[in-house]
Structure 1
C-alpha cells in the first residue's frame, strides 16, 4: 500500500542528486558571489552595499553614518549573509591602497597597507560614498537597468548598476569560485577612457591599438612595472598573465629610502624579511633599518648600508630577488559577461562588451527621457488649451457634476490632459503662466528633437557616449602612479658575494688535506703537516673568490673558500666533501674571480686556456675538464695574471719551452693542443703561466734557478716545438714558479 507521501516525492540516484546539488552550488558561487559583472565591475555584495548606501542618502556631500547601519541594511534587505563578510567587502572598497578609485569614504580605522585586516569594528567606523561612486549611481533612476526582487520579495534591487565608466578595469578585483578564479588589476581612468573611446570610434581596432592608449595596469600603491612590453601585450591579448612589480627607492645621504611598494605588499613584512637576513648574517653590508612612514609619507622605509663602499645597486638587486620588494601579480580577466556566463576575455573583448552594455544603458536612458518629455508635452498641450479657454473651463467645473468627461468632449483632450487641468492650483491661473507653458514647450520640443535625432543616429549616440566618458575621465582622472620601466632580472647575491672579502691562502697537501690561512704572507711549505704528508700546492686569493680543485684524471671541483678549515690545524681531507674516482689524486688548486683565465695541461704535453668559471662544478663528483690521455695525468692549473703572459713548459728530459698564451686554444673542456714536442717516454713535469716581464723560478731538488725575461729568449719558440735543454744540474726540474712566490706545484 502506498504511503501518503509516496506520490509527492522524487527518487533519484545518489550520484545524480550529488552532481546536481554540487553544480547548483558551483553556479551560485560563480554568479552570485565571486566574479564581477562586466557591466559595473561589481560582485553582488559590493553592488548591494553601494545601492544600500545610496538609499540611505550617504552621498559624498552627506554626513557619514555608522558602518554598522549600512551593513545592517545590506544584510537585512538584500544580502542575507554574515555581517563580518559584508563589512570586510565594504572595507576593501574604502581602502585607497586596495582600490585605485575607492567607492566608500571611510572615517576611522579602515586598515593599513601593512595590515589591511587591522580595521576597527563596524560599530566604531563611519562611512559614506565617494564622489567617484556617482559614476555607478547617477543614472539609476532613469530606466537604465533591470530590477529584481530581493531575497524575500519585499523590495526590488538593481540587477546591475549603470556604470558610466568601465569600473571592471578601473578597480579590478579578485575572487575564487568553484573551478575558476578572477584576478583583475586596477587601471588608470584616463588611459582606460582613451582606449574605450578609441574602440568606440574604431570598432575594428585590435589589442595593439588599445595598448597604445592603455599600456599597463596602474596600481594605487605606485611602484614600478618591470614586465616587458611583449609580455604585457600577450597578457591583454589572452586575458591571462603576470605583472611584475618592483619597489622604487632613492638614495639620500648614503641611505636607501624606499618610497613605493608593490601592490598589496606589507612594508612591515619587508622589514622583517631584511632583518631576518641581517640576523642570520646573510646581509653584512646593511647596518640598520628604519620605518619612517607617516601620514605625509605613507611608505618610507630606510635601509642604512654599512659603509659608502657598498654597491647600492647590487644590494637592492639582492633584496628585490629575496624579499617582497619585487612581486608578481597574477592577471586573469575572468568576468560574468552580458550573456550571464563567466569567461576569460582579452582586452578588446572586455571593452567591446562593456561598450555594448553602456550603449544599451544610454539608449534606455534616452528612451526613458524621451517618454517623459513626450508625456510632459502632451500635458502642456492640454494646459495650454485650458488657459486659452480659462473662463469656459471654470464654468464647466462649477456647473457640472462630472466636469472631466465634459471637458474631454468639449476641447477634444485626453484623460491625462483633463486630470492635469483639474489638478491645477488657483495661483497657476495667472496670465504669466501661459508664457511659462509656451517657454517650457519650446524647450521640451527642442529636447525631444535632439533625443529622437540621437536615438536615430548611431554616430550621434556614439559621440554622446564618448563625450560623457571623456567628461567623467576629466572629472575623476589623475596621473599614472605605476611607472613603466625596462629592468633586468634581479639576481640574489651568492653566499660568497655576501661575505666580507678578506685575503686568504689556500694550502693543499699531497694526501689531499686542505686548509686556509688568513692573509697572503704565508709560508705554505713551512706549515705543519700530518705525519707522512707534505706540502703540494697553495693559492692566494680572497674569501669570496671561486676555489677550484683539480685531480689527476682531469676532473675539476668547486669549494666555498670561506668554509675551509683554519690553517692553525692540519685541515680536513677533500674526500670528506668531494667524491673523486678511485685512484685519482688531487694535483692542484686555483683561487680567483670566475672570469680569471687559467691554463690546464697534462703530462702528455697537451693543454688549453679556459676560465675558473668554466671549471666550477656544484657536483661532489666534479666535472670532466681536461682529458689527459692514456698513461698521462693532469697537472696543476696555473693562473694567467697578465694580458701579455706566456706559458712555460718543462719536460722530464730537461727541455724548456716558453710560448705565447695566444697560441693556446680557448676551450671549456677537452684534450687541448700539443704544447711541446716530446720524445720516447718523455713527459711534461710542470707548466707555469707568467707575465712576459716577470722572473721564472725553476726548482730541481734543493737547487733553484731564476730566469729573467731576457734570459728566457733562447727558450722561446712556437707551440709544439722542442724548446731548448736546460743547463746541467737542472735537467730534473720538479716545479716552476714565479719569482716572489713559493713553488706552485
Structure 2
C-alpha cells in the first residue's frame, strides 16, 4: 500500500507548485470569469444566463418567469457558483441605465440609476429576454458554434453565442481579473454597424475612416462627451484612454434643470455633494435644490440660484469641477480573442476580428443549411421513386420479411431513402403528394444553387453579411444619446468668487488696527479709535475683492476682506495676522480685483504703476513690492479709476504736481521712476490717482481745499518737474483724497 501511494504522489519545490497554482487560477479567472469574448461580447456567466433563459422559452414574446427560476437553472446546470453573484450579473443585463441595449426585460424592481444595487430579491422579480437578445440566439441551432460539456458532463452548452452584431462594443463591459482588467464603453448600434460594414467592404480602411462612422462611445444615460476628437481617436488607436462626460442642463424659469447625468453617476449623490457645499457656505449663490425625477423624466435635478444676477454658466462650471456632474470614464479594450488569449486591442483589430468570427458563423450556418437541403433532396428523390412505383413498393412491404434491403436493390436507393419510404403514412400515398414533392424539389434545388453560389463567392458572402448587419441596425438601432461637444476644462470658482459681493469700507488706524464696515457711506475718520490712536486711511471696495496692505518698508501683504472684524468695534491689530519686520509700520491699504491698477510711491518721490494681483502675497511676512531708501517710507497706495487718469503728487511743503498716469512705468516691483523734483530734505507726503473729471481734495490740518479739473491746470507738468506751490495756508499738507471720482 505504501508503495502504491509513493508511486501516485509527486514531489515538487513549493516555489514551482505555488507558481503553477497561481497561474492556473489567474487564467481561470481571466478566461472563465472576468473578460468578455470578442465573438459575442459576453462573459461566461452572462452567456449561460442568456442561454438558460432561451432554453426556458423566455423569449421577448413570451410571458416572464420568476428570476429565481432562471438563476436556479443557471447555477444548477451551467454555472456552479453563488446565486447572488449570478443574479447580480442578470440584473445588470436588465438595467437600461447600465446596458446600452439590455438583454433582459425585467419586471419589478431591478434597481435605479441612483442605487443600481437596490434591486429586489430574485424571488420577487420576473424576467424574459428582450427582442435585441435575438441577435445572439437566433442562429444557435443552426450549426454555427462549437459546444462543450457543462461542469458535470450531463449537458452541452455553447462555447460562444452566434452574435449577428458586435455586441462586445455595443454593450461594452467591465471586469477585474488577476493582473488585468477590462473597461469597454458602450457604443451606438447604427454607428458600429456602419463602421463594420464599411470595413467589410473596404478591408484596407484605416482608423480615421472607421471613426467617421463611429466617432465616440454612446452611453445609455446620455450626457455630453466633451473629450476632443483627437483624444477619442487615440483611445481607439491604442485601446486605452479616458472619455470625459459632462451632465447636460437647461434654464427654465430662472432655474437650472439637469436632465442627463454621466454614465454610472447617482443623482442623489450629486445633490448630496452640492448640499454639502451649501452647508459649508461654499456655494452662496444657490438657494435650493430639488429632485423632480420620475418615470417620465428619469433625471430632473433642479438647482435654484439665489437671484437672477447669478452667472449660471460660471456656477455650472464650478459644479462640473467639484461634483460628479463631470467624470472621466476609463476605457481599456481588453477582450478574449478568437485565439483564446486576452489582449488589449484597438478598434480596427476588434472589428476585423469580429468580422472573421461573423464570417465563420455565417459560413457554418450556410453549410449547415446546405447539408440539410441536400439531405432533404436525397430523401425526396427516394420518395418520388416510391410514388412512381407505389404498387410494387406496397407489394414488397407486404410480402417481404425484410423489405428495406429488397427495395434498396430493386430501386437502387440508399438506406436513408428506404427508411423514408418505410416511414410514410398511408394518408401521404395520395396522387397529390407527387405534385407536392416535385414542388418542394424545385424550391430546394433553387435554394441549393443559391447556397452553393454564396459559399463559393467571397463577394456574395460579404454582401449577405453586410445586408444582415444593416437589417439588424434598422430593426434594433436608435439615435445617439451622448452628444459630442468639445468643451473647455471646467474651472472651480475661487474662494473670492464664492463669497457674496457686498460693499465694504476698510479702515486702517495709525497704530495698525484694521476693521471693515458694511457699505460705502461710512464716515471713516469719525469712527471711534482706541486711546492714543487715530484714523490713518480707508479704502472702499467689495467683500470678495483683494485687500492689499503696505508697510513703511514697501512690503505688501494680502488679507481677506470678508474676514476682517466689524467696524462696530475698534478692530484688530494687523500684527496679529501679519509679520512685518522690526520697526516697520503699516502706512496704507488698497482694495479691488487682481487686475485693478494702483500707484505705489515712496516719500523720496519715486513711484510706478502695478496691479493688485502683482503685489498680492499669501505669506504672512509679505513680499517686497516697492523699493524704499533707509530714511524714506512707502506712502499709502492709490488705486486707479475712471477715464484719462492722472496722478497728483504733493510734498510736505505744499509743492503740487499733476501729471498723466501714462508717464509712470508699469512694474511688478521695484523703485520706480522719479515723479517730482525735490529740494534737499523735502519729502513727498501723498500721491493720489484720479480721473480727469474728479475733484482733488488737499488736507492741511483742519483745512482742506478742493481743486476741480480746470483748477489743476496750473499744477500740471511733466514727470520729474517741480510743480507749483499751493496757496498760503497749505504749506503743511498731510494727505490727498478724491471727491466725486
The farther-off stretch of 631-640 and 449-458 is 631-640
**1:407 counterpart residue number:** 407
Correspondence 1:30 to 2:25: no
SS of the residue 2:394 aligns to? helix
Query: Deviation at 1:438?
Result: 2.0
Distance 2:214 2:392 in 1: 67
- Alpha-carbon distance change, 552 to 210 in structure 1, aligned in 2, over 3 angstroms: farther
- Alpha-carbon distance change, 207 to 666 in structure 1, aligned in 2, over 3 angstroms: farther
SS of the residue 2:314 aligns to? helix
- Structure 2 unaligned blocks of 5 or more: none
**2:536 counterpart residue number:** 536
**1:588 counterpart residue number:** 588
- Alpha-carbon distance change, 310 to 397 in structure 1, aligned in 2, over 3 angstroms: same
Query: Deviation at 1:437?
Result: 1.9
- Alpha-carbon distance change, 618 to 440 in structure 1, aligned in 2, over 3 angstroms: farther
Distance 2:568 2:151 in 1: 82
**2:511 counterpart residue number:** 511
Query: Deviation at 1:386?
Result: 2.3
Distance 1:504 1:414 in 2: 108
Structure 1, residues 553-605: CA drift from partner, whole Å, max 9, x if none? 44333221111111222222223323344444333211122332222233444
**2:490 counterpart residue number:** 490
Structure 1, residues 109-156: CA drift from partner, whole Å, max 9, x if none? 111112111111101111110000000000111111111111111111
**2:180 counterpart residue number:** 180
**1:74 counterpart residue number:** 74
**2:200 counterpart residue number:** 200
On the 8 A contact 2:643/2:692 being kept in 1, the answer is no
**2:641 counterpart residue number:** 641
Structure 1, residues 312-332: CA drift from partner, whole Å, max 9, x if none? 323323322222222222222
Distance 1:143 1:606 in 2: 95
Query: Deviation at 1:712?
Result: 1.7
**2:337 counterpart residue number:** 337
**2:250 counterpart residue number:** 250
SS of the residue 2:608 aligns to? strand
- Alpha-carbon distance change, 695 to 343 in structure 1, aligned in 2, over 3 angstroms: same
Question: What TM-score comes out, normalization by structure 1 length?
Answer: 0.94
SS of the residue 1:132 aligns to? coil
**1:579 counterpart residue number:** 579
**2:127 counterpart residue number:** 127
RMSD: 2.3
The farther-off stretch of 571-580 and 348-357 is 571-580
Distance 2:641 2:471 in 1: 69
- 1:17-166 to structure 2, matched below 5 A, reads 17-166=17-166
Distance 2:617 2:85 in 1: 54
**1:709 counterpart residue number:** 709
On the 8 A contact 2:663/2:719 being kept in 1, the answer is yes
Correspondence 1:10 to 2:5: no
Distance 2:145 2:7 in 1: 43
Structure 1, residues 435-474: CA drift from partner, whole Å, max 9, x if none? 2222222222222222222222222111111111111111
The farther-off stretch of 673-682 and 113-122 is 673-682
**1:360 counterpart residue number:** 360
Structure 1, residues 74-122: CA drift from partner, whole Å, max 9, x if none? 0011111110110011011111111111111111111111211111110
Query: Deviation at 1:175?
Result: 1.3
Number of aligned residue pairs? 741
- Alpha-carbon distance change, 426 to 621 in structure 1, aligned in 2, over 3 angstroms: farther
- 1:643-658 to structure 2, matched below 5 A, reads 643-651=643-651, 654-658=654-658
Distance 1:127 1:176 in 2: 27
The farther-off stretch of 699-708 and 379-388 is 699-708
Distance 1:517 1:240 in 2: 57
Distance 1:436 1:405 in 2: 27
Query: Deviation at 1:417?
Result: 2.0
Query: Deviation at 1:56?
Result: 0.6
**1:685 counterpart residue number:** 685
Distance 2:608 2:203 in 1: 65
Structure 1, residues 327-376: CA drift from partner, whole Å, max 9, x if none? 22222222112222222222222212211211111111112112212222
- Alpha-carbon distance change, 575 to 346 in structure 1, aligned in 2, over 3 angstroms: farther
**1:612 counterpart residue number:** 612
Distance 1:345 1:461 in 2: 26
Query: Deviation at 1:207?
Result: 2.2
- Structure 1 unaligned blocks of 5 or more: none
SS of the residue 2:520 aligns to? coil
Distance 1:665 1:616 in 2: 19
Query: Deviation at 1:169?
Result: 1.3
SS of the residue 1:642 aligns to? coil
**1:737 counterpart residue number:** 737
Structure 1, residues 476-531: CA drift from partner, whole Å, max 9, x if none? 11111122223333333333333332221111223332211122222223333334
Distance 1:389 1:436 in 2: 17
Structure 1, residues 627-684: CA drift from partner, whole Å, max 9, x if none? 4466654332211111311112234565433221223333334444443345556544
**1:666 counterpart residue number:** 666
SS of the residue 1:179 aligns to? coil
- Alpha-carbon distance change, 190 to 626 in structure 1, aligned in 2, over 3 angstroms: farther
Distance 1:441 1:582 in 2: 113
**1:347 counterpart residue number:** 347
**1:307 counterpart residue number:** 307
Distance 1:328 1:355 in 2: 30
Correspondence 1:212 to 2:221: no
- 1:257-656 to structure 2, matched below 5 A, reads 257-628=257-628, 632-651=632-651, 654-656=654-656
